[in-house]
Amino acid sequence: MVAAMADSDSGGVSRRGFLIQSGTGSAASLLGAASLPAVRSSAQAAPAPAAAPITEIGPGPVPVQLQVNGKTVAARIEPRDTLAHVLREQLGLSGTKIGCDRGACGACTVWVDGIPTPACMTLALDVAGTAGKGGRAARPVTTIEGLSTAQGTLHPVQDAFVAHDALQCGFCTPGMVMSCAALYERKRSQGQLAALSEGEVREAIAGNLCRCGTYPHVVRAMLSTAKGTGNGKNGGSR
């Protein structure tokens, strides 16, 4: 008792106070537990929302539509198929190269919705169109084969690569051209093509690996075509 009073006088918690607090906490716990069944029963009474139907695709090939180089084509692809594999093996568009197959070298670069994209890291189903209820439209894909016009006229960037010898073994060239052409078209649409800088070109091809080391020629080709000089027959126009 003396100890309890001493604790109380010194600002601590007395034994009596401790017992009172413990009893209050236990009562609150019992009250909470008593009200729990009522809450649970009311939750069970509420109807559960209907689950959305699950659409399963695969594991075998499924029919889809692809929009490639302005044309809609039918294909049968497995959920695991990459866009690079389908372009090369099913559609015969072998201009898209597979280098590292890990999205690091840029050889497989194509445009998806006009944006440079590694085709080896893109599932074909992600860009494919599906039919039926809940289906979606195919996303536009452009490969190196679709960069020139229907009359066979090269894109100004392609023409510049030839004029400035911006290729050697040629394995990285399709992806490099696609990255550069995307930059060219973006600057052209903004009316800033003539102001294209070397830094912007280097940034655009940062994800494209050229083992032959033709980067100086690539930069020179891009700057010349942007200014409309030294670019062969197309003269920097489209």
Residue 172 within any structural domain of the chain? yes
* pLDDT tens column, 27-36: 545 445 444 4
CATH number of the CATH domain containing 95: 3.10.20.30
Residue 193 within any structural domain of the chain? yes
Residue 41 within any structural domain of the chain? no
Domain membership of residue 174 as a residue range: 156-227
pTM over cut 0.75 = no
Work out the pLDDT band at 95, boundaries 50, 70, 90: very high
Residue 160 and residue 137 in one domain = no
Residue 56 within any structural domain of the chain? no
* pLDDT tens column, 159-207: 999 999 999 999 999 999 999 999 999 999 999 999 999 999 999 999 9
Number of structural domains the chain divides into: 2
At 231, the amino acid letter reads N
- b/e map of 168-198 (b: 16 or more CB within 10 Å)? eeebbbbbbbbbbbbbbbbbbeeeebeebee
Residue 24 within any structural domain of the chain? no
Residue 172 and residue 122 in one domain = no
